[in-house]
Structure 1
């Protein structure tokens, strides 16, 4: 670089999930186990989204370096004007996760059932320790009708749950409830 040339440095937008403690409410919708909520925020730049629900896929719907993971959690966020943002968390076998265990123990076994046990849960405990490194792209929901216009954020850091917890989710609830790998189809993948 020649002397005298100024370089403009822009701050990369930070992803800030602020998911509060909520009463546990779980629905078996025939496709996954969904945790129902209306508390929590996801902030990215000047955009703020409300946490609407989170649910689970086995195996993961996103691949990282060509590799699938045994589970993926989707935190579905939205705004009053209909904008959507989904935070994807890849899950691998490792340490036991007490928050995920509560979900496993309390989830309804019958399709269509909703259970509201007198238990509080912190969705933030279903995030890896670090959330500052992520991939983002404009995509769609992964379940029908697969609506477009969703801003995706997929964390690079991986959450751990135990091997037994992965087996329990897959054997008691859902396995192969993930959408098949999709091509980028011209979408731009940004890395933060």
Structure 2
């Protein structure tokens, strides 16, 4: 248990990008006049790898054996069924994140929709961590639009973020100890926490 806690602390090292996001173009009072009426996630096709969700996909059953054979060593972008599964997972994840962290801020009457557009999202597989890549990565934009007119209301040009993971020969051991812990989910949660803070900065 102590080893797992120590590992979680080490793996939890988050490296922030150098880009500073400009403050919101409107006040907190204006933002609070909105009412979050929906979330739309776009860009799931940019995901190269997401090991935890790949395992969940394989566990659904009725998976093409060829996909099951190739997925551990190839990009998920090669497999439309995996991309579709990722898209569904992302929609569920961001729905929950917005409901928990953003909806309480937007408690007004003007209905708006948040459009989340992924630019990067990648959690390297154990094989990639052994050989070439030890960073989980995320970058996305969030565009708040009027639900009725589609007019753009508030734009968040999200910065690039990355999270260091154990690599080299230690990667398989670290992945085994981490179990179902998901660096991708940790990145999303931190990103949404930063977005909530940004909404409240003026």
TM-score, normalised to structure 1, is 0.25
**Structure with more relative contact order (C-alpha pairs < 8 Å, separation 6 or more):** 2
Question: Which is strand-richer, 1 or 2?
Answer: 1
TM-score, normalised to structure 2, is 0.24
